[in-house]
Amino acid sequence: MTMSTAQIEKAFKAWPQVAPALRVPRNEREYRRLVRLLDRLIDEVGEDEHHPLASLMEVLGVLIEKYEDEHVEELA
């Protein structure tokens, strides 16, 4: 699906408020912030795949998993 010019303009205007949540975590503090946000979303969204925030929850999960893969040692 391609975004229209109007949709892109709306995204540009909304980005400053959304950017802190949709950032690749570079350190432990940013990682913990994303985990807390994901926990809040899980409480709100639950298992509802059709919830408007379900895709945000999925994106945060991917960002968190990437950080953990690169920075968290597995327990033996």
Percent of residues, the chain, with pLDDT higher than 90: 72
Write down the pTM of the prediction: 0.79
What pLDDT is attached to residue 35?
95
Tokens of 52: 């408007």
Work out the angle between the directed axes of helices 28-45 and 54-71 (0-180°, nearest 10): 150
Confidence of residue 72 (pLDDT cuts 50, 70, 90): confident
Cα(57)–Cα(54) distance, integer angstroms: 5
What pLDDT is attached to residue 18?
86
Mean pLDDT for 24-48 is 94
